[in-house]
Amino acid sequence: MATPSLFLNKVFKNKAKQQLKYALMLLVVLGQFLAGQTRVAASEMGEIADEQSTMLVDKRTFTVDNFTTFGGKTIKQVKVGWEAYGKLSEEKDNVILITHYFSGTSHAAGKYSVNDATPGYWDGIIGPGKAIDTNTFYVVSVDTLANLNAYDEHVITTGPASINPDTGKPYGLTFPVVTIRDFVNVQKALLESLGIAKLHAVVGPSMGSMQAIDWASAYPDWVPRMISVIGSAESDAWTISALEHWASPIKLDTHFNEGNYYNSTPPTSGLVASLMLITQNALTPEFFNMQQSKLASNAQNDSALEAITNDPTIVKWLRQRAEVRSTKMDANHLLYLVRACQLFMAGHQDSLALGLSNIKAKTLFIPSSSDLLLMPYLSQDAHQQLKSLGRDTHYIELDGSLGHLEGVSNISAQATAIKTFLEKD
Amino acid sequence: MATPSLFLNKVFKNKAKQQLKYALMLLVVLGQFLAGQTRVAASEMGEIADEQSTMLVDKRTFTVDNFTTFGGKTIKQVKVGWEAYGKLSEEKDNVILITHYFSGTSHAAGKYSVNDATPGYWDGIIGPGKAIDTNTFYVVSVDTLANLNAYDEHVITTGPASINPDTGKPYGLTFPVVTIRDFVNVQKALLESLGIAKLHAVVGPSMGSMQAIDWASAYPDWVPRMISVIGSAESDAWTISALEHWASPIKLDTHFNEGNYYNSTPPTSGLVASLMLITQNALTPEFFNMQQSKLASNAQNDSALEAITNDPTIVKWLRQRAEVRSTKMDANHLLYLVRACQLFMAGHQDSLALGLSNIKAKTLFIPSSSDLLLMPYLSQDAHQQLKSLGRDTHYIELDGSLGHLEGVSNISAQATAIKTFLEKD
């Protein structure tokens, strides 16, 4: 009589098998809290690297003057940070570009110092002898425009929090709307400045997957291989709406003041509420329920019964985590990233079909089967459309129960598939 | 190589089959907008009744003085609205109690006037000759405390927007925290005032399912049969957190003023943002993407590229819909309902196991397989625990693709199972 919900069974099976992983994960997170560490943006998405890197990396700065946006506006000076791992070949033909996720940065692998608690978010697959082998490839990663972590000492970005050279004041909402294409075009300008004219591959998770597939459509002669992890080929109505809920709390905050908060109190409560929702959207019931079981006894919600203004225990945990993350972030930047993702369509043409028809790359789509944010149907759709167009396209899933986060924290589970794909002619 | 995501395949299959249903649904919704109707709370959740009722119903008022809450506080006067369908037997042994969902009211079936555009939300299964047959049963439905639709002319409720007799002013956040148990206790007081000492069954969707199973645990001798639709037996950490995101926008709104907004501008923007999220949580990608395809051409997001302050088209649609619904709702009431749901555990004891062990009722759980809000694992867990306790428990799923909304809009799909279950000895 019962019709089992196979998806949810999948999320909730193998609990025993997952226990060790979660115990480790929570230990790392709690350790960071106790140590008073505030730089948990990367750890949120990448704390479980299978092999900790000892590769040391530097942040560099790239500048473009008079950058024209996809929307036709000019940004007088664009400055972004970037990192590279491995060595550029003499022929400059061994470049893999890594494009980062929404709350991520160009710190994809390695450490800035041996004392860093955690390496870059995809350190599990980027490094000497790893799936993206820095003994073979020159791996480049670039901070996006309006990067969320505007106040992270290791992030260099241009966005609403930057000074507008025309006024000497922060842009705020006068900063032009930027798109995934603009992130791509800044990366292309950087690569060209290095004398590079073609990539070996472009690879990215989540918002990074949007950049990767837009690269493949916009500059097909540059991109022979593209890997989209926990991604999509366009933002459908569901995703556009889901993203709007991330923006709402910031716009409602008393201190938002239409984005003009740089000389006063920033809209931190709104930013925190947004991060709380983002964290939930990126995870799964199983993760939250494991967390709760670590937090408290049965009496955990007593204070929430006493007064409407008291938070339930799990909400306190979620809020505290978001508060720590928020200190390096800018609220306006979050709004601009939301909009970039809302406007995303691979190729940025009149239809997705047109955009996909431009792609020449071999493609590999790797969604996470438990993802509740960018669900696997999005990757399936893109894969199927490319297949219909006769392209060489592949599809595999990350099979864990961390939801969207699988694509960052557990990417090593598909290391072999990634390595094999990158070796394809 | 591919591991198919069976859940999502299920959501997205049978598109053709669903087209007619959606076309009809959208027609009804659009019709309501064009007619300037503002009472769409019920239509949001129940516009597709299979058979339109001609059963005419009245709202009645029930009052309790000095009501003691589960948290030990006193509300001097509780007033709630209620409706009944069918005829109370002389033995008073034919009563089925219907408990309503989060944004619902006691208007479960029938119409107030023949001119009403839509009947009560479960009219498809409540009425003469229907699954819950009013030729046999006396069906009672009661507005909860802090009902969301505080300003609906057909809703009578006591909550933060009510006048505190001690001060002559609205309670605001001085209203005590109320729980699912308090909703149950008000219903019990009403039934007792009618001379009723036992139910035939208690049946409810979503937040109504919480009341139904709490009834079965708190008053096992009253409840021989319980049907939980799109429900759960407790709010797990995932659900408690998910509910918090509904509260956040209201608390952030400039006009919220710690809930003291009754003599000034209410926090409507926050309420609207909350309703936008609730609508999305209750639906599915398929519904949103069908909606988008009705709305606009490819150029739909041009204005969103022009200025960060312009909404994408689908967001405009979602916001407009929420704005219309918000006019009958009170923001503080939403906060209190969120808290009632966050604190929910069947039986309200120290553990769910204890609460469930009290239940004597035969139980039937009907989750929706595409539900992204209260996912089927919640019903499965409750069903399995009751089975382990040796109870007579049953489990079936609603198999459509409307997500959580299936439990209201398409409940008729399980009419036969409900009818059969209610006839069990």
Query: pLDDT digit string (tens) for A304-346?
Result: 999 999 999 999 999 999 999 999 999 999 999 999 999 999 9
Name the residue among B5, B249, B369 with its Cβ closest to that of A252.
Answer: B249
**Under an 8 A CB cutoff, do A241 and B3 touch?**
no
Q: How far apart are CA A238 and CA A251, in angstroms?
A: 21
Q: Per the CB < 8 Å rule, is A397 touching B5?
A: yes
Q: Do B305 and A238 touch (CB under 8 A)?
A: no
- What pLDDT sits at residue B31? 37
Residue B122 burial by Cβ neighbours in a 10 Å radius (0-12, 13-18, 19+)? buried
Cβ–Cβ contact B297 with A under 8 A:
no
A253 close contact with B: CB closer than 8 A: yes
Q: Is B12 on the interface with A (CB under 8 A)?
A: yes
Chain A: give the shortest CA distance to residue B57, in Å.
35
Put simply, whether A360 touches B (Cβ < 8 Å) is no
> What is the residue whose two structure tokens read 């073609």?
A198
Residues whose CB falls within 8 Å of the CB of residue A184, separated by 6 or more in sequence, listed in order: A211, A214, A215, A218, A219
- List the alpha helices (DSSP H) in A2-136: 6-12, 15-34, 41-46
Question: pLDDT digit string (tens) for A110-141?
Answer: 999 999 999 999 999 999 999 999 999 999 99
On the question of pLDDT at A394 being above 80, the answer is yes
Q: Does any CB of chain B come closer than 8 Å to the CB of residue A281?
A: no
Segment (H or E) for B138: strand B138-142
Annotated catalytic residue, options A206, A217, A269, A409: A206
**Best mutation target, B370, B373, B377, to test chain A (most A CBs within 10 A):** B377
Q: Tell me which residue of B81, B80, B362 sits closest to B212, measured CA to CA.
A: B362
**Cβ contact B341:B243 at 8 Å:** yes
Residues of A in contact with B335 (CB under 8 A): 308
8 A C-beta contact, residue A65 and residue A77: yes
SS3 label, residue A133? strand
On whether any CB of chain A is under 8 Å from the CB of B357, the answer is no
Q: Which residues of A touch B352 (CB under 8 A)?
A: none
Contact A230, A205 (CB under 8 A): yes
Look at residue A41 and tell me whether its pLDDT is greater than 90.
no
d(CA B347, CA B181): 8
pLDDT average, residue stretch A44-65: 72
Contacts made by residues A414-420, CB under 8 angstroms, sequence distance 24+: A414/A366, A415/A124, A415/A125, A415/A130, A415/A131, A416/A131, A417/A364, A417/A366, A418/A125, A418/A131, A418/A132, A418/A203, A418/A227, A418/A364, A418/A366, A419/A131, A419/A132, A419/A133
- pLDDT value, residue A173: 98
Task: Confirm if A237 and B291 have CB atoms less than 8 A apart.
Answer: yes
* Closest by Cβ to A8, choosing from B177, B291, B377: B377
Q: Give pLDDT tens digits along chain B (425 positions).
A: 233 333 443 444 444 344 444 444 544 433 333 333 333 333 344 333 345 557 999 999 999 999 999 999 999 999 999 999 999 999 999 999 999 999 999 999 999 999 999 999 999 999 999 999 999 999 999 999 999 999 999 999 999 999 999 999 999 999 999 999 999 999 999 999 999 999 999 999 999 999 999 999 999 999 999 999 999 999 999 999 999 999 999 999 999 999 999 999 999 999 999 999 999 999 999 999 998 877 765 445 679 999 999 999 999 999 999 999 999 999 999 999 999 999 999 999 999 999 999 999 999 999 999 999 999 999 999 999 999 999 999 999 999 999 999 999 999 999 999 999 999 88
Residues of B marked active site are found at 206, 371, 404
Q: Which residue has the tokens 């799990």?
A: A314
Flag the least confident range among A31-35, A209-213, A328-332, B49-53. Answer: A31-35
Contact status of A265 with chain B (Cβ, < 8 Å): no
Q: What is the DSSP string of A206-236?
A: THHHHHHHHHHHH-TTT-SEEEEES--SB--
Q: What values do phi and psi take at A418, rounded to 5?
A: -65, -45
Q: How high is the pLDDT of residue B302?
A: 74
pLDDT reading at A30 higher than 80: no
Do the beta carbons of residue A38 and residue A327 sit within 8 Å?
A: yes
Helix (H) or strand (E) holding B213: helix B207-218
> What does the pLDDT average to over A173-198?
98
In chain A, the residue whose alpha carbon lies closest to the alpha carbon of B13 is A377
Q: Give the integer Cα–Cα distance in Å for A199 and A98.
A: 11
Given an 8 Å threshold on Cβ–Cβ distance, is A395 in contact with B237? no
Q: Does A280 touch chain B (CB under 8 A)?
A: yes
The C-alpha atoms of residue A407 and residue B212 are separated, in whole angstroms, by: 40
- Residue A249 is nearest to which of B2, B177, B252, comparing CB atoms? B252
Taking the CA atoms of residue B409, residue B413, residue B416 and residue B418 in that order, the dihedral angle to the nearest 10 degrees is -40
Task: Check A253, A348, A404, A412 and give the catalytic one.
Answer: A404
Is B261 an interface residue toward A (CB < 8 Å)?
no
Kindly identify which residue of chain B lies nearest to residue A254, measuring between CA atoms: B254
Alpha-carbon separation of residue A20 from A17, A123, A290, B185, B210 (angstroms): 7, 21, 11, 43, 33
Q: At what angle do helices A237-252 and B313-326 cross, to 10 degrees?
A: 60
Residue A73 backbone zone (phi > 0: left; psi -120 to 50: alpha; other: beta) = beta
**Cross-chain residue pair A244–B309, CB shorter than 8 Å:** no
* Tokens coding B340: 């009632």
CA distance B51 to chain A (A): 26
Residue A42 has pLDDT above 70, yes or no: no
Kindly list the residues from chain B whose CB atom is less than 8 angstroms away from the CB atom of residue A401: none
Q: Do A248 and B309 touch (CB under 8 A)?
A: no
A416 touches chain B (CB under 8 A): no
